[in-house]
Amino acid sequence: MRHDSTLRRHATIEPTGAGVTIGALHPAYRSGRTIFPSRVFDADEVQHILKSGHQNRKIGRDVRKGPRRGWPIYMLTLEERATCPRSCKA
């Protein structure tokens, strides 16, 4: 873990613009599931389902504007494709 003024644990990696694209014949696409099945857990397998946004620089620790200013922010990560209807093209 880094001990400087930033909350980042890893060095910044410049994006290459190349994302992961899977075809319609890929098993993950056909079954509507993730391409990373080893990273899917049941809710009773993890200690914390909601994670603080404090460690995510895009999300942030708390709400900064509006009537909920100062409220903490939490994140929930859902499995891609499994949480979208089959009619969704994205």
CB proximity list for 23: less than 8 A, separation 6 or greater: 29
For residue range 33-68, list pLDDT tens digits in order.
888 888 888 888 988 889 899 888 888 999 999 999
Place of tokens 């809710």: 43
Under 8 Å between Cβ of 25 and 17: no
- For the stretch 15-24, pLDDT in tens is 777 777 888 8
Q: Is 0.85 surpassed by the pTM of this model?
A: no
